[in-house]
Amino acid sequence: MILNGSEILVNVLLEQGVDTVFGYPGGAVLNIYDALYKYSDKIHHYMTAHEQGAAHAADGYARSTGKTGVVIATSGPGATNLVTGIATAYMDSVPMVAITGNVSTPLIGCDSFQEVYITGITMPITKHNFVVRKVDDLADTLREAFRIASSGRPGPVLVDVPKDVTADRTTYTPAPKADTHERTTEVVGNVEEIAELINRAERPFVYFGGGVRLSGASEELRKLLLTADIPAAYTLMAAGALRYGEKHNLGLMGMHGCYSANCAANRADVMIAIGTRFSDRVALNTNKFGHNAKIVHIDIDSGEINKNVIADYSIVGDVKAVLNRLMRYIKPATHDEWFAKIEKWREEDYRPEDSETHLRPHQVIETACEIAGEDAIFVTDVGQHQMWAAQYLHHVKPLSFLTSGGLGTMGYGYGAAIGAQIANPDVPVVHFTSDGSLHMNMNEICTAVSYKVPVITVILNNAVLGMVRQWQGVFYGRRFSSSEPERVTDYVKVAEAFGGTGYRCKTPAEFEAAMRKALAAKGPVWIECEIDREEKVLPMIPAGGTVHDTIFN
């Protein structure tokens, strides 16, 4: 059948199983939006306040479902506004297809109105990108973009489509959805030898990351931990892969991780790193991290092996496939002595004190978590509140903790929460943010209002840029440069002005009441929580340090 480029584009989206896209219209994508209008019964388009919000929404949609998120923006500023969202997705291996319009092919390279070389700009922050110069190439290029985005280690792919290509007509031949997981069963490494090493270990330790979540390997991981009796700690990207309170789950590790988990990492004789990349927020000192251990590194991306920390053994492959293979050779074991030692360290773990009169961060997080329930999705922005959420959210499902771990994007949360809520209309979505992060993208409340998206935004307002200020306090002699902005924003009024609802809380009882009211609301709610500016994220290992440098107060 003969269709124009825009109709082909929409048909390929349908082929790929896409029924939801996020974006913002503009000159170069007018034809695409005309096709979206025509197909609006099959594809729901959500327009955000800003393209960055749309990119984060596509990201939140993808992270909370495992499907590929789709975002559309116009040329020039529309495309550049996507950049932070694409980079966020790239750093956290989120499958995303970003479609940008561009000026018509004869105008490319002429510094035309709203022209930008977006494929050049996004080269280092995409898995791959394309410019479609002929309408005949459009369908297959888009199919390839979807295949790349979700294959192997997922990531964002950008497809730049000049305006004339969206208008040109050609034959469209439907195709089935591309097979995206051709490499998941391939396992490269001496699995038997590594299993033997694990079987012989006296103090084995599993350190796992986002790869477990991306691979859907929680059960396989649990089987390994239970069979071989191995304690495990997770990175920020893997929160929720194991249940809180399970014997083998030591909790979060790294810069703000549990002291006991970091001690275990330090004392282990065999460290099995699964679907993780030894980032500088976990392996703070690459020479000393796991230095008492033989290190086994399991990852789908061979480029991660020996990148930051040299592994003694490695297996390249999808985590689920690797663990299934590994389990063939793992023998049941018990490590009571090792667990007893960890239990001793646990006694020294940092525990903040509760308060009944004023709001403490851990209480806000724990209360929100409890009231939102088992099925809730939690989304964070970036900074102190993000770390508190990671530390004190005591129940989270594997795809239900959405946070910008690698890029650390302040302003990620609201867009991502909206995307997650649209993908999961029947579960509560709680967006933890702070006065600093919310000011970056608070405009997205208009999106939440327009589409009646009932995201609950919990603002931990300490009136300062908490994480920056914490570092300035510890490392810069309390010289609080540009971290105490003296803002007087009235969050309740702002929420109301946009058509949402706002509450202000000063005590745990007020917060609990506000959370319950918010859960019953049909649209977005902001809950401002007053937090003392001296609250710190603890414990903390300074950059480049080891567990011996842990700061507790």
Catalytically active residues, by annotation: 51, 113-114, 163, 467
Which stretch, 127-135, 161-169, 218-226, 458-466, contacts another protein (CB under 8 A)? 127-135
Near another protein in 502-521, by CB under 8 A: none
Which one of 123, 175, 226, 474 is in contact with another protein (CB under 8 A)? 123
Q: Does 332 bind another protein (CB under 8 A)?
A: no
Q: Does 464 bind another protein (CB under 8 A)?
A: no
The residue type at 149: A
Q: Which is nearer to another protein, 142 or 440 (CB)?
A: 142
CA 101 to chain centre: 26
Q: Does 307 bind another protein (CB under 8 A)?
A: yes
Give 445's strand partners. Answer: none
Which one of 58, 98, 232, 305 is in contact with another protein (CB under 8 A)? 305
Judged by CB under 8 A, the number of residues near another protein is 14
Which stretch, 87-95, 101-109, 300-308, 431-439, contacts another protein (CB under 8 A)? 300-308
Q: Does 159 bind another protein (CB under 8 A)?
A: no
Structure tokens at 412: 């990620």
Q: Does 148 bind another protein (CB under 8 A)?
A: yes
CB of 131 to another protein, least distance (A): 8
Query: Helix, strand or coil for residue 21?
Result: strand
The contacts found for 476-484 with CB under 8 angstroms, 24 or more apart, are 484/533
Which one of 119, 314, 403, 461 is in contact with another protein (CB under 8 A)? 119
Contact 166, 32 (CB under 8 A): yes
CB of 91 to another protein, least distance (A): 13
Closest CA relative to residue 71, chosen from 17, 22, 10, 13? 22
Q: Does 124 bind another protein (CB under 8 A)?
A: yes
Q: Where does 49-185 have alpha helices with state H?
A: 51-65, 77-80, 83-91, 118-122, 135-150, 163-167
Planar angle of CA 392, 54, 76, nearest 5 degrees:
135
Distances (CA, A) of 202 to 133, 223, 227, 270: 60, 19, 14, 8
CB of 273 to another protein, least distance (A): 17
Which one of 127, 222, 360, 397 is in contact with another protein (CB under 8 A)? 127
Q: Which is nearer to another protein, 148 or 282 (CB)?
A: 148
Q: Which is nearer to another protein, 128 or 288 (CB)?
A: 128
Q: Which is nearer to another protein, 27 or 152 (CB)?
A: 152
- CA dihedral of residues 226, 227, 232, 234 (deg, nearest 10): -80
Structure tokens at 499: 């058509």
| Alpha-carbon gap, residue 113 to 162, rounded angstroms | 13
| Alpha-carbon gap, residue 544 to 284, rounded angstroms | 5
CB of 133 to another protein, least distance (A): 9
Which one of 170, 302, 450, 489 is in contact with another protein (CB under 8 A)? 302
On the CB side of 102, CA atoms within 13 Å amount to: 26
Q: Does 120 bind another protein (CB under 8 A)?
A: yes
Cβ neighbours, 10 Å, residue 17: 10
Q: Which is nearer to another protein, 66 or 152 (CB)?
A: 152
Which residues, including other chains, have CB under 8 Å from residue 425's CB and lie 6 or more apart? Answer: none
Q: Which is nearer to another protein, 141 or 386 (CB)?
A: 141
Query: Helix, strand or coil for residue 272?
Result: strand
Which stretch, 123-131, 215-223, 281-289, 484-492, contacts another protein (CB under 8 A)? 123-131
Q: Which is nearer to another protein, 280 or 484 (CB)?
A: 280
| Alpha-carbon gap, residue 259 to 246, rounded angstroms | 17
CB of 301 to another protein, least distance (A): 7
Residue with structure tokens 């006296």? 202
The footprint of another protein (CB under 8 A) covers 119-120, 123-124, 127-128, 131, 148, 301-303, 305-307
